[in-house]
Amino acid sequence: MPTSLVRVGVVWVLLPLGALKFNVDGSAGWKLGLAWCGGVLWDDMGQILVMFSSLSGVMESNEAERLAISHTLVLL
> Domain extents for the chain?
21-75
Task: Count Cβ atoms below 10 Å from residue 15 Cβ, excluding itself.
Answer: 13
Residue 19 has pLDDT above 90, yes or no: yes
Task: Identify the pLDDT of residue 12.
Answer: 72
Residue 7 has pLDDT above 80, yes or no: no
Beta strands 21-28 and 32-42 are: antiparallel
The domain 21-75: what is its CATH number? 3.30.420.10
Residue 67 has pLDDT above 80, yes or no: yes
- CA contacts within 13 A on the Cβ side of 24: 19
Residue 36 has pLDDT above 80, yes or no: yes
Q: What angle do CA 35, 40, 46 make, to 5 degrees?
A: 160
Strand partners, 58: 34
Average pLDDT, the chain: 85
Residue 4 has pLDDT above 70, yes or no: no
